[in-house]
Amino acid sequence: MVDEKDRFGDKLRQKEKAEEDRFFAERDRALLAKLRDKPAAAPATPARCPACGDELAAVSHHGVSAAECPRGDGVWLDRGALESLAEREQESWLGRFFARPKR
């Protein structure tokens, strides 16, 4: 009879473990879905200019954020900023480039 109680206790522990695993798997799925839906944040630290190595300065022109080289070696945009510009400039080469069908 002692052996039966041990087997029953083992089954209860296995069931508890399975419920715990299921709980954490569901929580992880929900957290991953939340991360996927969250828009990517802009990097907190400025990048360096590939031409001169100086830190890029964050600037905003007409509501579009960009990273600009202080020495005038270039301006860098993230994809969202580039698409925002393309949306406004639909008749330019930039707008036509982003309006084309994706492969």
The tens digit of pLDDT for each residue in 33-61 reads 988 887 766 555 558 888 888 888 888 87
Closest CA relative to residue 76, chosen from 100, 42, 102, 41: 42
- Classify residue 9: in a domain, yes or no: yes
Virtual torsion, Cα 30, 36, 42, 46, nearest 10 deg? 90
Reported as type and span, the H/E element at residue 3 is: helix 2-37
> Residue 90 is part of which domain span?
57-99
1/31 same-domain check: yes
Q: What pLDDT score was predicted for residue 42?
A: 56
Q: What pLDDT score was predicted for residue 65?
A: 84
Query: Measured between alpha carbons, how far is 68 from 40 in angstroms, rounded to an integer?
Result: 20
Instruction: Report which residue type is found at 42.
Output: A
- Classify residue 87: in a domain, yes or no: yes
Q: How many distinct structural domains can be found in the chain?
A: 2
Place 100 in a pLDDT band, splitting at 50, 70 and 90: low
- Mean pLDDT, the chain, integer: 81
- Classify residue 43: in a domain, yes or no: no
Which tops the pLDDT comparison, 92 or 68? 68
User: What would the mean pLDDT of 8-16 be, rounded to a whole number?
Assistant: 90
- Classify residue 79: in a domain, yes or no: yes
Cβ–Cβ under 8 Å, residues 60 and 81: no
- Classify residue 50: in a domain, yes or no: no
